[in-house]
Amino acid sequence: MTTIVASTRNYFAELWRAWNNFWFTPTDPATLALIRLLAGGMMLYTHFIWSFDLAGFIGRDGYTPVEFLQAMPGREWSVWSIFDWIGPNWLLWTVHILALGVFLCLFLGLFSRIAAVLAYLLAVSYVQRVTPGAYFGLDKTNCMLAMYLMLGPCGARYSLDRLWRLRRGDASEPAPSTAANISIRLMQLHLCVVYFFSALAKLEGNTWRLGTAVWWAASNYEYQSLPLTWLADWPILIAMFTHATVFWELSYPFLVWNRFTRPWMIWMAVAVHGGIALFMGMITFGLAMIFANLSFLKPETVRRWVDPVASRVSLAIVGKKVG
Amino acid sequence: MSKQRPDPPPQQPAGEKKPNAPQAPEAKPKPAKPVKPKVPSPWPWGPFARVLVSLLVAFHVFVLFISPWEIQLRQSIVPMAEPGGPPLDAQGRPIPPQQFDPRTYPAQLPVLPIALTKYLHHYANLIYINNGYDFFSPDPGVSHQIKYEVFNNAGEKLAEGQFPNRREQWPRLFYHRHMMLVEQSRDPMAAGQGWETAIAERLLEKHDGDRVRLVMIRHHLLTPQQVKDGGRIDGPTTYEEIGVMNHNRTRPPATEQAPAGGTP
């Protein structure tokens, strides 16, 4: 009996230690900073595109009027957007330009933490304004990344904030951060949830189970950006791509944590999302998902790739090399 | 929170006697246990902060998981009938699902996800994790288009165009927004909501017109064999007109609207 109690106690002690190691081990904020740089640029571009028809998509009386959305069944108080309260066109444009300024700050890493919080609130406001209306996976990914960026020191590296500190004589390396680790862990888990449920939804479809879905997606003229109809002569390729997509999405949440299978999962993500970007015209969505997958990169790997570039930029701007 | 906390004082080892406990006269004094060197905690945050944050992240990840679970099952609800085939009517014929009497065949509800999200979905809504992540699911479908012509009161055509259209909408993301606009307006959940009217009103406002004609088009997909036989995925036969709507302006032009209070 004593052995059982001791074993159980040991199990929970080990579990608590593993939990703490997973969530609370400080990490170099390099990975988070790289994702801030890339996701910030993506959010700036994504929201800049609304400028082409801001009143039409975001305006109160646009293609999906605010009153129309609010009257839709299932619309609840907790679905919010600042654009629900913005009427006049001049105010809409003022808020939009300020929002673009926030996304630019996030991209450059200027007042990074404040910019990340504002960018998240604004990104949610834009997407809730066009849900339903004109949203798609890109908006979901943008909001996901912005939400976790604001939780950690996303401007600790590769940012104007860092260069500003350097200019003031603070050349110290950014300290490993627990908050950075929590942000990255949440991104990773969120990504696992996305792939897992994406796979479950596909399993409801006959074409995904039979192995023909990639054809129906690739031969859709409205999506297509590069010719893919040559696949008609290669049913085996269609089947391979279809089955590989489903099995990869389904196994991602389990295999991405193992260091031997992780590279396969990540490179597969690059291949799938890169394919969507190149062939199906969703360059932004494909890239945003690849950026999210970078959360599984070790900070050392990120620094090995990015620091040389960051040092050159730093040397050019403040005359000192820094990561 | 990221500041280094002092290490907690070493706990009394289990089994050690209290200092004021009466000692039996015959008991031998125990040898002093070697003092373990202090090992700094690998986690800078103190136990209270870690427990609190653990609860928060556990809650967040839990909602993250149950939200798509419930959202995906919303469209999978089926009548409470014996699995393995449709129920039969008095004549032994299969009853089509749309003719199921809800009193005899109430819906099979996903009880657990519904119960879990009943209150928690507000959290998911507020922070925008209320997503189904059902990309190209359950099956990739056909696309739709809306062609429009805007006229003034004299019947002159003021504008015409198409959503989506690669030549009219650029960059690609802008085109994609129009594509999503059309697709989401065709969603069965949006049917009967008057979405086309909202699009029509916006087009009238944009082009300062009085009447608009919308043509809804379904763009069918070709099978691999049809493509091998020479069919083009943008061939004229792949487009099917599924509806036409003429709409007269109901909203006054922006220039005629009374200014809202508090605005110039």
Residue B165 confidence (pLDDT): 97
If pLDDT is split at 50, 70 and 90, which confidence band does B18 have? very low
List chain A residues with CB under 8 Å of B174: 49, 52-53
The 10s digit of each residue's pLDDT in B194-248 is 889 999 999 999 999 999 999 999 999 999 999 999 999 999 999 999 999 999 9
| Digit-coded pLDDT (tens) for A257-307 | 999 999 999 999 999 999 999 999 999 999 999 999 999 999 999 999 999
* Residue A113 near residue A180 (C-beta atoms within 8 A): no
CA nearest neighbour of B178 among A122, A225, A63, A141? A63
- Residue A308, CB-side half-sphere exposure with 13 Å CA sphere: 3
Q: A204: helix, coil or strand?
A: coil
Report pLDDT for A319. Answer: 84
DSSP state of A27: B
- Express each pLDDT in A84-118 by its tens digit: 999 999 999 999 999 999 999 999 999 999 999 99
Q: Are strands B157-163 and B143-151 parallel, antiparallel or unpaired?
A: antiparallel
Kindly state the helix (H) or strand (E) to which residue B178 belongs, with its residue range.
Answer: helix B172-185
Rounded mean pLDDT of chain A? 96
Residue with tokens 């260091």: A259
Distance, in Å, from the CA atom of A42 to the CA atom of A44, rounded to the nearest integer, reads 5
Q: Chain A to chain B, count of Cβ pairs less than 8 Å apart?
A: 219
Å between A288 CA and nearest CA of chain B: 13
Q: Token pair of B159, please? A: 């504008």
pLDDT at B27: 61
Q: How many CA atoms lie within 13 A of A127 on its CB side?
A: 26
B235 contacts in A (CB within 8 Å)?
none
Q: What is the mean pLDDT of residues B134-150?
A: 95
Q: What is the mean pLDDT of chain B?
A: 84
Q: What pLDDT shows up at residue B263?
A: 36
Average the pLDDT over A137-151 and give the result: 98
What pLDDT does A323 receive? 64
Q: What is the per-residue pLDDT for B21?
A: 46
Q: Which residues of A touch B140 (CB under 8 A)?
A: 207, 213, 216-217, 220
- Mean pLDDT value of segment B120-136: 96
Average pLDDT over residues B128-141: 94
- Domain boundaries along the sequence of chain B: 47-126, 143-253
Q: Which one of A75, A193, A248 makes the best mutation probe of the B interface by having the most chain B beta carbons within 10 Å?
A: A193
- pLDDT (mean) for A37-57: 98
Q: Which residue has the higher pLDDT, B100 or A208?
A: A208
Q: ipTM value of the model?
A: 0.96
Count CB atoms within 10 A of the CB of residue A85.
10
CB contact under 8 A, B140 and A87: no
Inter-chain CB proximity A132 and B194 less than 8 Å: no
Q: Give the single-character DSSP code of B46.
A: -
At which residue do the structure tokens 């905690």 appear?
A: B41
- CA quadruple A92, A98, A100, A103: dihedral sign: negative
In 3-state terms, what secondary structure has residue A178? helix
Helices (H), chain A: 2-24, 30-48, 54-57, 66-70, 89-108, 112-129, 137-149, 160-167, 178-203, 206-210, 213-218, 235-255, 262-279, 283-293, 299-318
Q: Taking the CB of residue B134, how many other CB atoms lie within 10 A of it?
A: 18
Pick from A302, A298, A299, A289: which is nearest to A144 by CA?
Answer: A289
Tokens 């969507």 sit on residue: A276
